[in-house]
C-alpha cells in the first residue's frame, strides 16, 4: 500500500462512445483516517447506466453531475482497513459511493455495512442499485396486478432481469426484450420469463403481437430504441409505463422522439419516470420487500466481471453495445 | 312539428377537414313517447373536440365510435314537450346526449334535469363536459399546489379557459397558450391569466422562458403542436402533464411524435391521459367541486353560437382553425 490510484473525470462526453481522453488516471497519496474517519480498501465497484447521467453537464438532473477534476462517482464494496470511527472495526464489509479508486476515506456517511453471507458480486448485483431500482419501479410505480402482462426492455440487464423475475413471482405474464439470442435463451430458460424478443431480429411488431395476445398492461422501459413505439402501440387501457432508462439515447446528441400522446388520451395511459436518489430514504422498506424473493431463490443473477480499475472506462461502452452478460462489476 | 331533421354519420373522416359528404341529412318521423318515455325538443347542442374520437373507427377508444348510419352523437339541452314518464313533466329543462337532431325520444336514462337559473349557453359552457373535464383534469389528475406554475394550451377553449381560471383561483401562476392576439387579450384581461402566448407568433422558446422564470410544474395539454416540446423542455422536477386533448393531431393521418422520455427520467415527470367517460360516476362530486368557483364569479365564459342544425358540420372545423371564439354551441 503506497498510493491510491484513482480515475478523475476531466471532460464531459458529447455523444458517441466513452473514451480514455475524458479521464485522467492519477496516483494520489493515501490519507490516514482522522478521528471519526475510516479508510476502506475497495474490492469491487459497480458500473451502472446512471453513470451517463452523472457525467453529463445537465444540472437539472436528479443528482449533481460529477465536477470536472473529481474522482468519477460509482458504488462499490470493500473492507475497512483502518478505523478511527466507533461504529466501524477493521475487517468490516462496507458498501457505498466510493468512486473509481482503490482506497476510500470517509466518516461513514452514506456507507452501509454488509452482513449478508453473499459474495461481493451478488451483493452488488441484487441488493445494491439494481435490486432497489427494480423493486421501487415495479411495485411502487407500476403497481402490478396478478394476471397482467408486463414487457421489460433491457431484460437481461441488471435491473430488467430482477424486474422480470419479481413480476413472474407475482403472477404476471412477463415478456423480455433483449439484444441477443443468448440473452433471450437465458431469461427464458434460466430466469423463467414467458417469452423473449431479440430487438435486433426481424418482424418485431409481429413478435410482439404473438407474445402479448392480451395486449400490454405494464411497460418497464430501460432502453428506448426502435421497439419503443411498437410496444407503446400495444398498451391496454389504463396501462402504465415505468420509465427507468433510455440507454439507446444516452450517447446521442439528439435523442429520438417519444410516442405521440394520442394513445395516452385514448387509453388513459400513465407514463412515470423515476430515479433512485428520490427514494434513498425508502431503502430499508425496499430491501424488506425484495429480500423474501431473494431468500426464496426467485431472483437469479449473473455478473460480468472486468479486471482492474482502468477497465471501468471501456466497460461503460458495453452498455451501448449490449455485449455485457450480466451485471457489470469491476474487480480491483 | 312535422318531422325530425337529423344528421347521420355515413363515412368516417380520414384526416383533413370535416366535410358534408361524411354525413346524410334526413327527415325522420317523430315517434310519440310510450309509457316511461319522454320527447324532448332540443334547443342548443354542444360541439366538442371529443367528437373527433367518436367519429373515428378506433374501437380501442374509451367510448364506442358512432356506428355508420347512426345519428351523430352530441350533448345538448332542451325542453320536455311530451312525457309519459313519472319523473318528467312537460316544460322540464333537460341535458344529455341527444345527438344531431331536433327531437329526442328516450326513457330518461343518461339525462339530467337542469335547475340552475342560467341560460342554456352558460350551462353547456360551464356545467357540461367542459367544466367537468377541467375539474377532473386539474384537481384529480394534476393535483395543483398554490405557488406552482401551470401552462394551459387551448387556453381560450372551452376546457382550457376553465382550467386556467380554476388554477388562478387556487393561487397558481397561470400561463395560457392561444392561437390569436384577440384570444391572448381575452384570457389575460377578462379571465385573469398571468400571461398568454400566441403559438403563431415568433420566438416561442424565448416567450416561454420569459413567462415561466421558475419553470413549469403543471402542463395541461389540449392541443399538441410545435409548442409541445418547447413546453416539455421547461418542466420542473416532479412536474405533471395532464393530457386532455391533441386537436393539432386529430386531422393528421400520422400524428406528430411526442417528446423524448429522457426528461421523464431526469425530472421524474408523470404524463397522465384521461377522458371523462371513466369519470361519469364522479359527476356529482365534480359539480360540487366546481360550483363554488362559479357561484363566486371566478369562472367567466363566452359562447360562440352557430345557427341551425346543419352548421354543426362546418362548425367542427373551427376546432382545427381555432377561429371559434368561445365554447362552440349550435342553436336549433
pLDDT (tens digit, 9 = 90+) per residue, B243-255?
999 988 887 888 9
Examine the domain organization and report whether B14 and B90 are in the same domain: yes
pLDDT of residue B29: 95
| pLDDT over 60 (residue B59) | no
Q: Is the CB of residue B267 less than 8 Å away from at least one CB of chain A?
A: yes
Partner residue opposite B255 with nearest CB, options A224, A260, A273: A260
pLDDT of residue B281: 84
Q: Is the CB of residue B221 less than 8 Å away from at least one CB of chain A?
A: yes
Q: A with B: how many residue pairs have Cβ under 8 Å apart?
A: 116
Q: What percent of chain B is modeled with pLDDT above 90?
A: 81
User: Taking CA atoms, what residue in A is nearest to B254?
Assistant: A260
| pLDDT over 70 (residue A112) | yes
| pLDDT over 60 (residue A67) | yes
Q: How many CA atoms lie within 13 A of B4 on its CB side?
A: 21
- Give the mean pLDDT of A254-266: 93
pLDDT of residue A60: 59
- Give the mean pLDDT of A20-46: 96
Examine the domain organization and report whether A138 and A267 are in the same domain: yes
Q: Is the CB of residue B255 less than 8 Å away from at least one CB of chain A?
A: yes
Reported pTM: 0.90
Partner residue opposite A258 with nearest CB, options B53, B261, B267: B261
A contacts of B255 (beta carbons < 8 Å): 260, 262
Q: Is the CB of residue B253 less than 8 Å away from at least one CB of chain A?
A: no
pLDDT of residue A32: 92
- Give the mean pLDDT of A51-73: 84
Torsion region of A108: left, alpha or beta (phi above 0 gives left; psi -120 to 50 gives alpha):
left
B121: in domain: no
- Give the mean pLDDT of A191-212: 97
Examine the domain organization and report whether A155 and A250 are in the same domain: yes
Asked if A246 lies within 8 A of B267 by C-beta distance, the reply is no
Asked if B271 lies within 8 A of A261 by C-beta distance, the reply is yes
- Residue A260, classed as helix, strand or coil, is coil
Confidence of residue A135 (pLDDT cuts 50, 70, 90): very high
- Give the mean pLDDT of A180-196: 97
Confidence of residue A59 (pLDDT cuts 50, 70, 90): low
Examine the domain organization and report whether A187 and A87 are in the same domain: no
- Report the residue of A242, A273, A275 to disrupt the B interface, i.e. the one with the largest count of B CBs within 10 Å: A273
Instruction: Give residue A259's domain range.
Output: 129-278+288-292
Backbone angles phi, psi at B327, to 5 degrees: -60, 125
B122: in domain: no
pLDDT, one tens digit per residue, over A266-309 is: 999 999 999 988 998 888 899 899 999 998 999 999 999 999 99
Q: What percent of chain A is modeled with pLDDT above 70?
A: 98
Q: Which B positions 57-76 lie with beta carbon below 8 A of chain A?
A: 58, 60-62
pLDDT of residue B120: 95
CATH of the domain at B221: 3.40.50.720
Q: Distance between CA B148 and CA A17 in Å, rounded?
A: 39
pLDDT, one tens digit per residue, over B61-93 is: 667 899 999 999 999 999 999 999 999 999 999
Asked if B271 lies within 8 A of A266 by C-beta distance, the reply is no
Average pLDDT, chain B: 94
Examine the domain organization and report whether A192 and A272 are in the same domain: yes
Residue B89 burial by CB count (10 A; 0-12/13-18/19+): exposed, middle or buried?
Answer: exposed
Confidence of residue A15 (pLDDT cuts 50, 70, 90): confident
B contacts of A244 (beta carbons < 8 Å): 265
A150: in domain: yes
B120: in domain: no
| pLDDT over 80 (residue A251) | no
Examine the domain organization and report whether B80 and B180 are in the same domain: no
- Give the mean pLDDT of A77-105: 96
Q: How far B39 CA lies from chain A's nearest CA (Å)?
A: 33
Average pLDDT, chain A: 94
| pLDDT over 70 (residue B60) | no
B91: in domain: yes
- Give the mean pLDDT of B292-312: 94
Q: Which A positions 225-244 lie with beta carbon below 8 A of chain B?
A: 237, 243-244
A124: in domain: no
Asked if A270 lies within 8 A of B266 by C-beta distance, the reply is no
Total number of domains in chain A? 2
Residue A203 burial by CB count (10 A; 0-12/13-18/19+): exposed, middle or buried?
Answer: exposed
| pLDDT over 90 (residue A64) | no
Confidence of residue B95 (pLDDT cuts 50, 70, 90): very high
Lowest mean pLDDT among A182-186, A282-286, A313-317: A282-286
User: Taking CA atoms, what residue in A is nearest to B63?
Assistant: A266
| pLDDT over 70 (residue A1) | no
Nearest C-alpha neighbor of B258 from the set A277, A235, A257, A210: A257
- Give the mean pLDDT of B174-195: 97
pLDDT of residue A119: 92
Nearest C-alpha neighbor of A198 from the set A149, A155, A247, A230: A155
pLDDT of residue A306: 97
A123: in domain: no
A contacts of B245 (beta carbons < 8 Å): 265
Asked if A271 lies within 8 A of B264 by C-beta distance, the reply is yes
Examine the domain organization and report whether B139 and B267 are in the same domain: yes
Asked if B260 lies within 8 A of A237 by C-beta distance, the reply is no
User: Taking CA atoms, what residue in B is nearest to A256?
Assistant: B260
User: Taking CA atoms, what residue in B is nearest to A278?
Assistant: B268
pLDDT, one tens digit per residue, over B279-301 is: 988 888 998 999 999 989 999 99
User: Taking CA atoms, what residue in A is nearest to B265?
Assistant: A273
Confidence of residue B206 (pLDDT cuts 50, 70, 90): very high
Q: Distance between CA B119 and CA A27 in Å, rounded?
A: 81
Confidence of residue A115 (pLDDT cuts 50, 70, 90): confident
| Dihedral of alpha carbons A88, A93, A96, A100, sign | positive
B123: in domain: no
Q: Is the CB of residue B53 less than 8 Å away from at least one CB of chain A?
A: yes
pLDDT of residue A143: 98
ipTM score: 0.89
Spatial strand order in the sheet of B270-273? A195-198, A173-178, A149-153, A216-221, A235-243, A270-273, B270-273, B235-243, B216-221, B149-153, B173-178, B195-198
pLDDT of residue A283: 86
A contacts of B262 (beta carbons < 8 Å): 246, 249, 255
- Give the mean pLDDT of A46-50: 92
| Partners of B221 in the β-ladder | B243
Asked if B243 lies within 8 A of A256 by C-beta distance, the reply is no
Examine the domain organization and report whether B194 and B248 are in the same domain: yes
Examine the domain organization and report whether A236 and A308 are in the same domain: no
pLDDT of residue A188: 98
Examine the domain organization and report whether A48 and A173 are in the same domain: no
Q: Which is it for strands A38-46 and A327-331: parallel, antiparallel or unpaired?
A: antiparallel
- Report the residue of A265, A268, A277, A278 to disrupt the B interface, i.e. the one with the largest count of B CBs within 10 Å: A265
Q: Which is it for strands A103-106 and A76-83: parallel, antiparallel or unpaired?
A: unpaired
Examine the domain organization and report whether A102 and A133 are in the same domain: no
Examine the domain organization and report whether B167 and B76 are in the same domain: no
B contacts of A263 (beta carbons < 8 Å): 273
Q: What percent of chain A is modeled with pLDDT above 90?
A: 81
User: Taking CA atoms, what residue in B is nearest to A221?
Assistant: B261
pLDDT of residue B148: 98
CATH of the domain at B308: 3.90.180.10
Residue B200 burial by CB count (10 A; 0-12/13-18/19+): exposed, middle or buried?
Answer: middle
Return the HEC string of B186-222. Answer: HHHHHCCCCEEEECCCCCHHHHHHHHCCCCEEEEEEC
Amino acid at each position: 500500500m503506497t498510493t491510491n490510484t484513482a480515475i478523475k473525470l476531466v471532460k464531459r462526453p458529447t455523444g458517441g462512445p466513452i473514451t480514455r481522453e475524458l479521464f485522467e488516471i492519477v496516483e494520489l497519496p493515501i490519507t490516514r483516517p482522522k478521528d471519526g474517519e475510516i479508510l476502506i480498501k475497495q474490492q469491487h465497484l459497480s458500473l451502472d447506466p446512471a453513470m451517463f447521467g452523472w457525467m453529463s453537464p445537465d444540472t437539472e438532473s436528479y443528482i449533481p453531475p460529477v465536477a470536472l477534476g473529481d474522482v468519477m462517482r460509482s458504488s462499490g464494496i470493500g473492507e475497512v482497513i483502518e478505523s478511527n470511527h466507533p461504529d466501524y472495526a477493521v475487517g468490516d464489509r462496507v458498501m457505498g459511493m466510493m468512486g473509481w479508486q482503490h482506497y476510500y476515506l470517509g466518516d461513514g456517511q452514506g456507507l452501509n455495512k454488509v452482513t449478508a453471507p453473499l459474495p461481493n458480486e451478488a451483493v452488488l448485483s441484487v441488493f445494491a442499485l439494481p435490486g432497489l431500482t427494480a423493486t421501487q419501479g415495479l411495485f411502487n410505480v407500476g403497481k402490478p396486478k396478478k394476471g397482467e402482462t408486463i414487457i421489460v426492455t433491457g431484460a437481461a440487464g441488471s435491473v430488467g432481469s430482477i424486474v422480470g423475475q419479481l413480476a413472474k413471482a407475482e403472477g404476471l405474464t412477463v415478456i423480455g426484450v433483449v439484444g441477443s439470442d443468448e440473452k433471450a435463451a437465458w431469461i427464458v430458460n434460466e430466469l423463467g420469463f414467458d417469452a423473449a424478443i431479440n430487438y435486433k431480429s426481424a418482424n418485431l411488431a409481429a413478435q410482439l403481437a404473438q407474445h402479448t395476445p392480451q395486449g400490454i398492461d405494464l411497460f418497464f422501459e430501460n432502453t428506448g430504441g426502435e421497439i419503443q413505439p411498437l410496444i407503446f402501440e400495444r398498451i391496454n387501457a389504463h396501462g402504465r409505463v415505468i420509465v427507468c432508462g433510455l440507454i439507446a439515447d444516452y450517447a446521442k446528441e439528439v435523442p429520438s422522439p417519444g410516442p405521440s400522446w394520442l394513445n395516452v388520451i385514448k387509453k388513459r395511459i400513465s407514463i412515470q419516470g423515476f430515479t433512485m436518489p428520490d427514494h434513498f430514504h425508502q431503502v430499508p422498506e425496499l430491501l424488506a420487500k425484495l429480500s423474501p424473493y431473494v431468500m426464496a431463490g426467485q431472483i437469479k443473477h449473473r455478473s460480468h466481471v472486468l479486471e482492474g480499475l482502468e477497465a471501468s472506462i471501456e466497460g461503460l461502452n458495453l452498455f451501448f453495445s449490449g455485449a455485457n452478460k450480466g451485471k457489470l462489476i469491476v474487480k480491483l
